[in-house]
Amino acid sequence: MPTIRRLPEHLINRIAAGEVVERPASALKEIVENAIDADATRIAVSLAEGGLGRIEVTDDGCGMDPQEMALALERHATSKLPESLVGQEGAIERVATLGFRGEALPSIASVARLSLESRVRGAEQGWKRVVDHGSLTEEGPAALPPGTRVRVERLFANIPARRKFLRSPRAEYAACLDIMRRLAMARPDIGFSLEHDGRQIFRLQGEDRLESRVAQIVARELADNGVSISLEREAMQLRGIAGLPTYNRGVADHQYLFVNGRPVKDRLLAGAVRGAYADMLARDRHAVLALFLDLPAEDVDINVHPAKTEVRFRDAVAVRGFIVSGLRHALSTGDRRSTQAPAADAMSRWQVEPQSLAEKPAPALASLFSGRDWSPPANRVSEAGRAWKGYEQAVMADPQGRAEVAEEPASPEAEFPLGIARGQVAQTYIVAEASDGLVIVDQHAAHERLVLERLRAAGTGETLAASQALLSPEVVELDEPSCDRLEENAASFAGLGLMIERFGPDAMLVRAMPSVLKTADPQALLRDIADDLAQNGAPLLLGEKIEHVLATMACHGSVRAGRVLSVVEMNALLREMERTPRSGQCNHGRPTWIKLSMADVEKLFGRH
Cβ-Cβ contacts under 8 Å for 608 (sequence gap 6 or more): 599, 602
Q: Is 469 helix (H, G, I), strand (E, B) or coil?
A: strand
Burial 367-381 (b: 16+ CB within 10 A, else e): eeeeeeeeebeeeee
Same domain for 455 and 312: no
Kindly report the CATH number assigned to the domain that includes residue 324.
Answer: 3.30.230.10
CA–CA distance, 96 with 98 (Å, rounded to integer)? 7
- Nearest CA to 150 among 196, 120, 125, 113? 113
Q: What is the pLDDT of residue 461?
A: 40
Q: Do both 159 and 245 map to the same domain?
A: no
| CATH number of the domain to which 448 belongs | 3.30.1540.20
- Calculate the dihedral angle through the C-alpha atoms of 486, 487, 492, 494, rounding to the nearest 10 degrees: 100
Verify that 117 and 170 share a domain, yes or no: yes
Q: Do 190 and 244 fall within a single domain?
A: no
Rg (CA), the chain: 32
Alpha-carbon distances of 7 from 184, 210, 355, 442, rounded to whole Å:
39, 47, 83, 69
The answer to whether residues 157 and 227 belong to one domain is no
**Structural domain includes residue 354:** no
Residues 316 and 421 in one domain: no
pLDDT, block means (10 residues), the chain with 608 residues: 71 62 89 91 94 94 91 72 53 58 79 93 91 90 94 88 84 91 91 93 83 85 84 90 83 86 84 82 81 88 67 84 86 59 51 41 41 48 42 46 54 67 83 84 80 64 62 88 85 80 89 75 81 66 60 58 76 81 72 81 73
The answer to whether 471 and 515 have CB atoms below 8 angstroms apart is: no
pLDDT at 564: 78
Flag whether 359 is in a domain. Answer: no
Contact yes or no for 546/517 (Cβ under 8 A): yes
For 234-259, how does the pLDDT look when each residue is reduced to its tens digit (9 = 90+)? 889 999 998 888 788 877 878 899 99
- Burial label for 27, CB within 10 Å (0-12, 13-18, 19+), is buried
Distance of CA 540 to the CA centre of its chain: 18
Closest C-alpha to 100, from 177, 184, 36, 180: 36
Reduce the secondary structure of 8-30 to three states and give it as a string.
CHHHHHHHHHHHHCCCHHHHHHH
Q: How many Å from the N-terminal Cα to the C-terminal Cα in the chain?
A: 91
Cβ burial 43-79 (10 Å sphere, 16+ → b, else e): bbbbbbebbbbbbbbbbbbbbbebeebbebbeeeebb
Total of domains in the chain = 3
Q: Are residues 233 and 177 in the same domain?
A: no
The span from the CA of 421 to the CA of 574, in Å, is 8
Going edge to edge, which strands form the sheet with 113-119?
Answer: 135-142, 126-132, 113-119, 147-153, 54-59, 42-48, 191-196, 199-204
Contact predicate 413/240, CB 8 Å? no
What DSSP letter does each residue of 569-608 carry, written as one string? HHHHHHHHHHHSTTTTB-TTS-BSEEEEEHHHHHHHTT--
CA distances from 533 to 22, 38, 396 (A): 30, 40, 61
Q: What's the Cα-to-Cα distance from 62 to each of 99, 192, 193, 422, 514, rounded to whole Å?
A: 16, 17, 19, 66, 60
Q: Let me know if residue 372 belongs to a domain.
A: no
Q: What are phi and psi of 417, to 5 degrees?
A: -55, -35
Domain termination residue (choose one: 282, 299, 334): 334
In a domain, 532, yes or no: yes
Q: Report if residue 393 sits inside a domain.
A: no
Report which of 563, 541, 553 is spatially closest to residue 452, judged by C-alpha positions. Answer: 553
Q: Check residue 536 and give its pLDDT.
A: 61
Distance CA 482, CA 505 (A): 10
What DSSP character marks residue 277? T
Read off the CATH number of the domain in which 133 is found. 3.30.565.10
SS3 assignment, position 474:
strand
Q: What is residue 390's predicted lDDT score, i.e. its pLDDT? A: 44
Strands (E), 479-532: 499-502, 507-514
Q: How many CB atoms lie within 10 A of CB 574?
A: 23
- The pLDDT assigned to 452 comes to 73
- Is residue 492, in this structure, part of any structural domain at all? yes
Instruction: Report the DSSP beta bridge partners of residue 321.
Output: none
As a whole number of angstroms, the distance between CA 36 and CA 99 comes to 9
Which among 257, 582, 602, 289 is positioned nearest to 451, based on CA atoms? 582
Tell whether 150 and 108 lie within a shared domain: yes
Range of the domain at 517: 415-608
Strand partners, 440: 431, 594
CB 84 within 8 A of CB 95: no
Give 478-486's long-range contacts (Cβ < 8 A, gap of 24+).
478/506, 478/507, 478/508, 478/526, 478/527, 478/530, 479/506, 480/505, 480/506, 481/534, 482/530, 482/531, 482/533, 482/534, 483/507, 483/508, 483/530, 485/530, 485/533, 485/534, 486/526, 486/529, 486/530, 486/533
Give yes or no: residues 546 and 568 share one domain. Answer: yes
Residues 270, 139: one domain? no
**Judgement on whether residues 185 and 233 belong to the same structural domain of the protein:** no
Q: CA distances (Å), 372 to each of 45, 360, 363, in order?
A: 75, 17, 10
pTM of the model: 0.64
- Element spanning 468, H or E: strand 467-477
| Domain end position, chosen among 280, 312, 334 | 334
Please indicate, yes or no, if residue 356 is contained in any of the structural domains.
no
Name the DSSP class of 429.
E
In a shared domain, residues 141 and 258: no
Q: Supply the pLDDT for residue 120.
A: 94
Q: Which helix (H) or strand (E) holds 212?
A: helix 210-217
In this structure, is residue 229 part of a structural domain?
yes
Pairing mode of beta strands 42-48, 191-196: parallel
State which of 334, 357, 383 marks the end of a domain: 334
Closest of 171, 182, 177 to residue 200, by C-alpha: 177
DSSP state of 521: -
